[in-house]
Structure 1
Amino acid sequence: MVREDGRYRIGVDVGGTHTDLVLLDVEAGTFSVEKVSSTPANPALGVLEGVSRFFAKGIDPADVGFFAHGTTITTNALLEMRGARVGLLITAGYRAVQEVQQQARDGNLFDYSYVKPAAIAPQSLTFEIAERTDYQGNVLHPLDAEQVREAARKMIDKGVESVAVCFLFSFMNPAHEEETRRILKEVAPDLPVSLSSEVLPRIREWPRLSTTLLNAYLEPVLVRYIDHLARGLDKVGVRTPRRFLMQSNGGVMLFDAAASGGRTVHTLLSGPAAGAQASAYLADEGSRDGLVTLDMGGTSADIAFIQGGVPLEVTEGIIDRRQIDVPSLDMTTISAGGGSIAAVSSSGFLTVGPRSAGAMPGPACYGRGGTQPTVTDADIVCGYLNPDNFLGGKQRLDIAAAREALLRQIGDPLGLDALEAAAGIRRIVDMRMADEVRVFAAKRGVELSKFTLLPFGGAGAVHAVSVAEELGITRVMVPRHPGAFSALGLLCTDVMHDYIKSELRAFEDLAPEYVEDVFRALEEKASRELVDEGLSTDDATFIRELDLRYAGQGYELRTPLEGLAAGPLDAAALAAARARFDDRHEQVHGHAAADRPVEVVSYRLRARVTVPKYIQRSEPFPVTPGDVGAAETGERAVYFDGKTAVKAKTYERERLEIGARLEGPAIIEQFDSTVVVNPGWRGRVDEFRNLIIERC
């Protein structure tokens, strides 16, 4: 386990509109929350402002022993195409791999205006290098070192800021790629180099090249950001070496590890992963049939499924039409956030997103110069949000500005009043989120009727019950601090590194001793890297998996080996792995072929080092149920259907006692979010102060 020095631990989640921070007092077992406006031009500034607010309350920075950070810095850089200028070195004769890709086309096949995404490394910055290794790792043609030097000089002249190296079959023998990096460092010592044999030492040329290119494209962006943030933390007095960054797989890694060894691409889902990890860690007994999470922030809504207390995971994915094949939580994202801008299309239809008002200028009701109507503007006009109690009263919302924006941009063009326009926006965004959940569930064979919906993010709890109604879900669990839930998730995970080695062989020909040797080599590599990061290998747990497929298939399934052998792998363990693969194939694809030969494609290893976590403490139920009246603050008109005003009681969540029960319609307000309980639903406060909302 990572040892903990210091009384406090900080988790930070940077969103498109707000940056959320959680300060955990380890001794008292309590935590406090801060929420500041994000600073898109330099996200570190918002993080440092939030951290400084904790210290302004009397917290000593020297007592902070742990800092964990989830960020969208690499995701945004990719979406906005503002990464580094990348040069590519590739095996002679294969420079067209980036153009051909997989010979498949994404999107609508009948779209005659289809255009491929711009190449990360254009042909003008792609250099063929004479070298060749065969599929077994044997060198057929030695590396031409002079060609590498000449390519390096040309790249410097052309202003290349980062280099990707992807040679054929380097995952079987990385010697040529490693020698290429040594030569590049001689010519250009400060030029970052990403090797495919480190980023993704896995079979299949295009996914390996694409992932390596993305790493090279984003590494300088992440390095600059981490350097700026680290220096800022030093300046405000947070000097703990335990500074972690969230990864797409739901684990964390040290700042230094994030910018080395080809791990930058593992941060592309850093922000959304923290919330899914918190959901899995903090789910209640009533969620044992499964959870669907709805993380609705200022810019987007992220959806994930939790089954058996574990988030679903994938090893292949697409982000903004870019192939990236690293382990990550199985999530989907849509442009449905509080800041999503509503507009009337050229065809005269009401649309919501994908553009967002972000933190600056933000929704029209923020009063920062924004004139475009957003989902938040619609929420306030419909009565869901309190203009005088946003962020606990720290920010006043301008409802008149929201109405004006809705009328001018939506109402007047469509012949609607402000309320009808607002109701239309809400209906669209709720339906879009529900539809995305349906499609996501159908692809994974998930039956939603028994699932619990767990909303978080600043806007998640405002829309959750309406989305649940669309999905036929009858139970919603709102955590104690939904707006800061992802930040809390950073205090609920472990250090995790993933390793892979591809080697195509007939499974029946594998000797147990050989498989054990392959995994031992991966474990030794993982141990060396953990030691380099200052972590103890004594605390490390190694989790083994095989990628298996039936002979002739073009895809494989991850097959865990956990529990199959008490010691080194033996013939019985491999036979059990084969049976487990057949079962997995039946479960995922609806059929199996136990009589067919099987191939091993890759060996996978996950190294996990336990980190001290936030411990959720229950409180005893009172003898008599909590008095809900003590938390009541009044009532206001809410338009659930966009036409008829309904009087909804309002409550202060911090004053709702354990066991308190309330009936919808109701609005529960707190510093970091607002919870809406629709008519026909009721809520209760459980022993962890979660709000459980169920259909009457």
Structure 2
Amino acid sequence: MSVSGPRYRLGVDVGGTHTDLVLLDPADGALMVEKVSSTPKNPALGVLNGVSRFVARGVKPDDIAFFAHGTTITTNALLEMRGSSVGLMITKGFRAIQEVQAQARDGNLFDYFYEKPAPIAPQSLTREIPERSDYEGKVLLPLDHEAVRQAARELKEVGVRSIAVCYLFSFLNPSHEEETRRLILEEISDAHVSLSSEVLPRIREWARMSTTLLNAYLEPVLVHYIGHLNKGLDEAGVNTQQRFLMQSNGGVMPFSAAIAGGRTVHTLFSGPAGGAQASAHLSGTDAQSGLVTLDMGGTSADIAFIEGGAPLEVTEGMIARRQLDVPALDMTTISAGGGSIASVDGGGFLMVGPQSAGADPGPACYGRGGTRPTVTDADVACGYLNPDYFLGGAQKLDVEAARKALQVHIGDPLKMDVLQAAAGIRRIVDMRMADEVRVFAAKRGVDLTSYTLLPFGGAGAVHAAAVAEELNMQRILVPPRPGAFSALGLLCTDVVHDYIRSELKPLEDVTPEHAENIYAQLEAKALEELIAEGMQPENARYLRELDLRYTGQGYELRTPLDGLYEGKLSQASLTAARQRFDERHAQIHGHAAADRPVEVVSYRVRLRVAVPKYEPRETAPPAKPRAVADALKGGRTVYFDGKSPVETQVYERDGLDVGTSVKGPAIVEQFDATTIIPPGWAARVDTFHNLILEFART
């Protein structure tokens, strides 16, 4: 069947070491995968290098109809504190909020030398503006226009071009903040202005201010990056206007939305969200019954839980010790990647991370000048990785360089040989990932023995079996393209925007008409932005939620309203919402208080616009399957325990037909990843070409 016009859909995930690209042809479901080195100084270059690889393989750039991108550009800018200089305008008399914050502290409660993170907008760049609205949004003191202009001029004088505006109760009445932006832009035409009433229009002053400051700090970084990437795509001939960024909530948003309306903070977990979304969309019954995802790349390992076919979500969180209260997939990240550097501390103990060799110079075995031993060097020394087949043979690994780095920096100081040093590094990183999963599960009351571990990323399937054994997990699912799984996740999601408005009121005092009016305003704003982004309104769905709490509580629960109304809310809808809240409270916290009054804290709307997605295709076992021996590439000596050599058969994954099985010890190699099947494990290929590993020891 011939297809005319643009047809390809491209997903791109930029990691710390490699940039992964997946190109989908919806006509036949075929996937093309490219993996190139990341370019940390300008990540857009790595993306464009990958696109040029597809062009070299015969793909016409103007045939790419859809471009979706997961990026760590804002995350890395925050971690490395290289965002923009930020000014803050705040209601007069409240400049200390950023210093006091929420009075909570992270880390060791007994640390006498504890210090809070340096403020994003120091007191020298904070300006108090005479204005005031009350808790109902009524104006008590008009905005002082001249004070705003004077503050803008002073900030301009010292080079500030990004300004956060956070006035009291602006989430109920944003007029003063909106007027402030107009005045700022009259004084500084090229300013980036982040309004708390747009970034996070909800209660809790510090959370709202912190999130707004983060947006102001990072927006110029993202705008510059998107501008550079847009220009590069245009010059490369990728003319599609359907260009999207992955958000922390697992949905995508157009490039245009990312640089307007205070949405930069929604990209802070953009990178790892793609893999979690792919896990939920592509794993079928496993996603329904429970998955633990392990995305182990070059710099870090990201962990998420999938329950009931969807990733768990949170609305409050921390990143780099800073409060960030936006909807995000519930994930945790640790410094346990292939590029994590091993070292011996002052007490003579072996450590792995948090520093990473990254893409430049990379692990010692890459031969790019790196001399410090990494997890990848340990994997090479133990025989897990084929030095002649890394990235399908596109990159050769220097085994001797890896062994030398391990001996000099680990073996000699600890009086170990190379294999003991390598085994120790692997043991530490595997235990760290297992411990993080164990704690994550304990907080959510999950029985891991009934869950399936889904590893991906370049190193995930290398370490998955060891992590599973630590957790007593019996089943592992390795997807067909684990090394590019996060990039594939960008082709498995919808356009999603979240909207919120806080208004404290007892639920019994809320009329259906009042609630319906608030939802109508939020949905009208969503529709306006949808049209401005060039999306089709008829494809939109609106999902409503209430944030509810028992009166007197200091926290609330998101309570979905789906199934509780038709067309418009009724009194029965609100009564049912109360009952659903009680049930959710009992499920999450183990108890409910049906006799206590309930308070509405916030109204939420999620806009979802469906876009075509990648759908896996089931394949029946062939009538005459190829013999497993046909996929055998040879053998390799592997040190599973760091001591005893084990002759291990090596298979090419593409040579394994549906329904075939392989018993460990074995290694399955493919272009983008390596899967280790230790002794006691067995693997089979299911009808979706997943590799299912099961613990078989008797």
**Could you say which TM-score interval applies, normalised by the shorter chain?**
over 0.9
Give me the TM-score of the superposition, normalised by structure 2: 0.99
Aligned to 2:576: 576
Aligned to 2:676: 676
The within-5 A match list for 1:283-294 is 283-294=283-294
Separation in 2, partners of 1:610, 1:377: 43
Aligned to 2:335: 335
Per-residue CA shift, 1:27-86, capped at 9, x if unaligned?
121011000000000000000000010001111111110000000000000000000000
| Contact preservation (8 Å) 1:638, 1:646 | yes
The within-5 A match list for 1:576-615 is 576-615=576-615
SS in 2 for 1:33: strand
Per-residue CA shift, 1:406-453, capped at 9, x if unaligned?
000000000000100000000000000000000011111111110000
Q: How far apart are 1:161 and its partner, in Å? A: 2.4
Compared CA separation, residues 695 and 135, structure 1 to 2 (3 A) = same
Aligned to 1:115: 115
Q: How far apart are 1:116 and its partner, in Å? A: 1.0
Q: How far apart are 1:624 and its partner, in Å? A: 5.4
Aligned to 1:692: 692
| Contact preservation (8 Å) 1:479, 1:690 | yes
Amino acid at match of 1:327: P
Per-residue CA shift, 1:147-204, capped at 9, x if unaligned?
1000001101111120000000000000000000000010001000000000000000
Aligned to 1:199: 199
Aligned to 1:505: 505
Amino acid at match of 1:25: D
Aligned to 2:275: 275
Separation in 2, partners of 1:666, 1:550: 55
Per-residue CA shift, 1:495-518, capped at 9, x if unaligned?
000000000000011111111111
Separation in 1, partners of 2:104, 2:271: 30
Separation in 2, partners of 1:669, 1:266: 36
| Contact preservation (8 Å) 2:272, 2:486 | yes
| Contact preservation (8 Å) 2:161, 2:190 | no
| Contact preservation (8 Å) 1:684, 1:692 | yes
| Contact preservation (8 Å) 1:302, 1:331 | yes
| Contact preservation (8 Å) 1:626, 1:659 | no
Runs of at least 4 residues off by over 3 Å: 623-626
Q: How far apart are 1:567 and its partner, in Å? A: 2.2
Separation in 2, partners of 1:256, 1:11: 18
Separation in 1, partners of 2:580, 2:28: 45
| Contact preservation (8 Å) 1:304, 1:312 | yes
| Contact preservation (8 Å) 2:681, 2:695 | yes
The within-5 A match list for 1:95-110 is 95-110=95-110
| Contact preservation (8 Å) 2:280, 2:287 | no
SS in 1 for 2:103: coil
Per-residue CA shift, 1:640-678, capped at 9, x if unaligned?
111111111100011111111000011000110000011
Separation in 1, partners of 2:112, 2:85: 30
Separation in 1, partners of 2:135, 2:639: 65
Aligned to 2:547: 547
Per-residue CA shift, 1:443-499, capped at 9, x if unaligned?
111111100000000000000011000001100000000000000000000000000
Amino acid at match of 1:220: P
| Contact preservation (8 Å) 1:626, 1:658 | no
SS in 2 for 1:501: strand
Aligned to 2:39: 39
Compared CA separation, residues 692 and 287, structure 1 to 2 (3 A) = farther
Amino acid at match of 1:197: S
Aligned to 2:467: 467
| Contact preservation (8 Å) 2:457, 2:486 | yes
Separation in 2, partners of 1:519, 1:628: 59
SS in 1 for 2:289: coil
Say whether 1:234 aligns with 2:231: no
Per-residue CA shift, 1:374-416, capped at 9, x if unaligned?
0000000001000011000010000000000000000000000
Per-residue CA shift, 1:89-145, capped at 9, x if unaligned?
000000000000011111101112211111100000000000000000000000000
| Contact preservation (8 Å) 1:364, 1:377 | yes
Say whether 1:666 aligns with 2:644: no
Separation in 2, partners of 1:239, 1:114: 51
Decide which moves more: 241-250 or 612-621: 612-621
Q: How far apart are 1:299 and its partner, in Å? A: 0.1
The within-5 A match list for 1:326-475 is 326-475=326-475
Aligned to 1:262: 262
SS in 2 for 1:233: helix
Per-residue CA shift, 1:255-289, capped at 9, x if unaligned?
01101100000000001000000000001324532
Decide which moves more: 369-378 or 565-574: 565-574
SS in 1 for 2:277: helix
Say whether 1:483 aligns with 2:514: no
Separation in 2, partners of 1:308, 1:574: 25
| Contact preservation (8 Å) 1:294, 1:453 | yes
Aligned to 1:295: 295
Amino acid at match of 1:60: K
Listed as ranges, the gaps of 5+ residues in structure 2 are none
Separation in 1, partners of 2:91, 2:141: 11
Separation in 1, partners of 2:113, 2:466: 37
Count of matched residue positions in the alignment of Structure 1 and Structure 2? 693
Separation in 2, partners of 1:36, 1:84: 29
Separation in 1, partners of 2:156, 2:567: 52
Separation in 2, partners of 1:476, 1:627: 23
SS in 2 for 1:288: helix
The within-5 A match list for 1:512-527 is 512-527=512-527
Separation in 2, partners of 1:688, 1:83: 43
Aligned to 1:319: 319
Decide which moves more: 443-452 or 487-496: 443-452
SS in 2 for 1:594: coil
Separation in 1, partners of 2:570, 2:419: 69
Aligned to 1:247: 247
Q: How far apart are 1:625 and its partner, in Å? A: 5.2
Percentage of identical aligned residues: 70
Amino acid at match of 1:414: L
| Contact preservation (8 Å) 1:8, 1:65 | yes
Q: How far apart are 1:691 and its partner, in Å? A: 0.3
| Contact preservation (8 Å) 1:296, 1:458 | yes
Aligned to 1:157: 157
Separation in 1, partners of 2:625, 2:531: 53
Say whether 1:535 aligns with 2:535: yes
Amino acid at match of 1:491: L
| Contact preservation (8 Å) 2:287, 2:306 | no
| Contact preservation (8 Å) 2:383, 2:637 | yes
Q: How far apart are 1:622 and its partner, in Å? A: 2.5
Separation in 1, partners of 2:682, 2:303: 24
